[in-house]
Amino acid sequence: MTFNETVRKTIRARNSLVCVGLDTVPSRIPESIRSGPDPVFEFNKRIIDATQDLVAAYKPNLAFYEALGTEGWDILRRTVSAIPDGILKIGDAKRGDIGSTAEQYAKALWNIGFDAVTLNPYLGRDAVDPFIRNTEKGAIILCLTSNAGSQDFQKRFLDGMPLYLHVARAIAEWNGNDNCGLVAGATHGEELWAIREITPDLPFLIPGIGAQGGDLESAVLSGTDKAGEMALINSSRGILYASSGAGFAEAARNAAEILRNEINVVRKTKG
Amino acid sequence: MTFNETVRKTIRARNSLVCVGLDTVPSRIPESIRSGPDPVFEFNKRIIDATQDLVAAYKPNLAFYEALGTEGWDILRRTVSAIPDGILKIGDAKRGDIGSTAEQYAKALWNIGFDAVTLNPYLGRDAVDPFIRNTEKGAIILCLTSNAGSQDFQKRFLDGMPLYLHVARAIAEWNGNDNCGLVAGATHGEELWAIREITPDLPFLIPGIGAQGGDLESAVLSGTDKAGEMALINSSRGILYASSGAGFAEAARNAAEILRNEINVVRKTKG
Distance CA B144, CA B136 (A): 25
Residues A223 and A204 sit within 8 Å (Cβ to Cβ): yes
d(CA A118, CA B101): 14
Distance between CA atoms of A70 and B112, rounded to whole angstroms? 9
Q: Could you give the 3-state DSSP secondary structure of residue A234?
A: strand
**Angle between helical axes of B216-223 and B189-198 (0-180°, round to 10):** 10
Q: Is the pLDDT score of A227 beyond 70?
A: yes
Residue B108 to residue A69: CA distance in whole angstroms: 6
Asked whether the beta carbons of residue B70 and residue A74 sit closer than 8 angstroms, the reply is yes
Those of residues 227-256 in B touching chain A at CB distance below 8 A are: none
CB nearest to B153's CB, from A98, A105, A124: A124
Q: Residues 172-211, chain B: which have Cβ within 8 Å of A?
A: none
How crowded is residue B160: how many other Cβ atoms within 10 Å of its Cβ? 6
Q: How confident is the model at residue A210 (pLDDT cuts 50, 70, 90)?
A: confident
Q: Give the model's confidence band at A271: pLDDT under 50 very low, under 70 low, under 90 confident, else very high.
A: low
Count CA atoms within 13 Å of residue B30 on its CB side: 20
Cβ of B147 within 8 Å of Cβ of A61? The answer is no
The secondary structure element, H or E, covering residue A81 is helix A72-81
The complex scores an ipTM of 0.96
Counting DSSP H helices and E strands in chain B, the numbers are 12, 10
- pLDDT value of position B101: 97
CATH code of residue B119: 3.20.20.70
Asked if the Cβ–Cβ distance from B149 to A70 is below 8 Å, we say: no
**Identity (one letter) of the amino acid at B64?**
F
Q: pLDDT per residue over A173-185, tens digit each? A: 999 999 999 999 9
Residues B170-193: tens digit of each pLDDT: 999 999 999 999 999 998 888 999
Query: How confident is the model over A217-239, as a mean pLDDT?
Result: 96
The Cα A197–Cα A204 span in angstroms is 12
What count of residues does chain B have? 271
Question: Average pLDDT, whole number, for chain A?
Answer: 96
Contact B163 A167 (CB under 8 A): no
Distances (CA, A) of A258 to A195, A219, A225, A271: 27, 16, 22, 20
B231-267 residue pLDDT tens: 999 999 999 999 999 999 999 999 999 999 999 999 9
Range of the domain at B138: 3-268
Pairs across A and B, CB distance < 8 A: 178
N-term to C-term CA, chain B:
24
Closest A-chain CA to B171: A152
Between the two ends of chain A, the Cα-to-Cα distance in Å is 24
Task: Collect all residues of chain A within an 8 Å Cβ-Cβ radius of residue B172.
Answer: none
Give the alpha-carbon dihedral of B149, B150, B156, B161, to 10 degrees. Answer: 180
Cβ contact, residue pair B23, A163, below 8 Å: no
Q: Is A130 in contact with A99 (CB distance < 8 Å)? A: yes
Tell me the pLDDT tens digit for each residue of A188-197. Answer: 888 999 999 9
- Which residue in the list A45, A94, A155, A270 is annotated as catalytic? A94
CA proximity to A21, closest of A262, A252, A236: A236
The DSSP element (H or E) to which A75 belongs, if any, is: helix A72-81
Task: Verify whether the Cβ–Cβ distance A108 to B67 is below 8 Å.
Answer: yes
Q: Residue B146: what residue type?
A: S
Q: Confirm if B17 and B234 have CB atoms less than 8 A apart.
A: no
**Of chain A residues 101-140, which have a CB less than 8 A from chain B?**
101-102, 104-105, 107-109, 111, 120-127
Q: Does B1 touch chain A if contact means CB atoms closer than 8 Å?
A: no
- Nearest residue to A148 (alpha-carbon basis) of B187, B102, B225, B93: B102
pLDDT band at A76 (very low <50, low <70, confident <90, very high): very high
Mean pLDDT of A52-74: 97
Query: Which positions in chain B touch A104 (Cβ < 8 Å)?
Result: 25, 61, 63-64, 66-67
Cβ separation of B154 and A125 shorter than 8 Å? no
A168, A154 Cβ separation under 8 angstroms = no
Measured between CA atoms, the residue of chain A closest to residue B148 is: A126
What is the rounded distance in angstroms from the CA atom of residue A12 to the CA atom of residue A89? Answer: 16
Q: Tell me: the pLDDT tens digits for A86-124? A: 999 999 999 999 999 999 999 999 999 999 999 999 999
Do B154 and B168 form a contact (C-beta atoms < 8 A)?
no
Rounded distance between C-alpha atoms, residue B143 and residue B152, angstroms = 13
Considering its fold, how many domains does chain A have in total? Answer: 1
Do A181 and A7 meet the contact criterion of CB atoms below 8 Å apart? yes
Mean pLDDT calculated for residue range A123-134: 97
* Model pLDDT, residue A212: 74
Q: Which helix (H) or strand (E) holds A51?
A: helix A39-51
Cβ neighbours of residue B188 under 8 Å, at least 6 residues apart?
A: B144, B146, B150, B214
**From A105, which residue of chain B is nearest by alpha-carbon distance?**
B63
Contact call for residues A181 and A137 (beta carbons, < 8 A): no
Interface of A with B in 9-28 (CB under 8 A): 23, 25
When CB atoms are compared, the residue of A104, A121, A125 closest to B122 is A121
Alpha-helical (H) ranges within chain B are 3-14, 31-34, 39-51, 62-66, 72-81, 99-112, 125-132, 163-174, 189-198, 216-223, 237-240, 248-268
Interchain proximity A163–B167, CB inside 8 Å:
no
**Exposure pattern of B1-23 as b/e (b: 16+ CB <10 Å)?**
ebbbebbbebbeebebbbbbbbb
Single out the residue of B187, B271, B263 nearest to residue B220, CA to CA.
B263
Show which residues of B are catalytic.
Answer: 94
Residue pLDDT tens, chain B, 271 long: 999 999 999 999 999 999 999 999 999 999 999 999 999 999 999 999 999 999 999 999 999 999 999 999 999 999 999 999 999 999 999 999 999 999 999 999 999 999 999 999 999 999 999 999 999 999 999 999 999 999 999 999 988 899 999 999 999 999 999 999 999 999 888 899 999 999 999 999 999 897 777 899 999 999 999 999 999 999 999 999 999 999 999 999 999 999 999 999 999 998 6
CB contact under 8 A, A111 and B149: no
Tabulate helix, strand, coil % of chain A (nearest 5). Answer: 50, 15, 30
